[in-house]
Amino acid sequence: MQLCKGTEIEFGPFPIPGVDNVTFAGLTEHPDGGFTAMIAMEKGSVIPEHGHKHFEETYVISGVVDCAGATLEAGDYVRVNDDETHSVKALEDTKLLVMVHQGVVVEGMPD
């Protein structure tokens, strides 16, 4: 069992260079190259257009974001498939729980 108490979660730099006002707390790595993480976004911040090698699941813990034109609020869940790209913009200060399967694809960044 791996246990991470909320008081132990540490947010640090977001792993995509040039993304401001977004922090990242990796919770666990997956054997397929993916990960589970918490992401904190300040109002107005944007995670740029990107895709995934398999699929991504996101649960909104707090706040509101625009994900590919859909407004997601606390309690909402979205799955983005590997044949879709999307960006995420925080409409309020927001916290997300994200599960990425096999990794992220960002144009101009190595795998």
Q: Which tens digits make up the pLDDT trace of 54-93? A: 788 999 999 999 998 999 999 999 998 878 888 899 999 9
DSSP letters along 11-26, please? -EE-SSTT--SEEEEE
Provide the residue ranges of all domains of the chain, joining segments of one domain with +: 12-105
Q: Which tens digits make up the pLDDT trace of 29-45? A: 878 777 888 999 999 99
Residues 23/93, Cβ–Cβ less than 8 Å: no
The pTM of this model reads 0.85
CATH of segment(s) 12-105: 2.60.120.10
Sign of dihedral through CA atoms 92, 14, 18, 87?
negative
C-alpha span between 1 and 65 (Å, rounded): 32
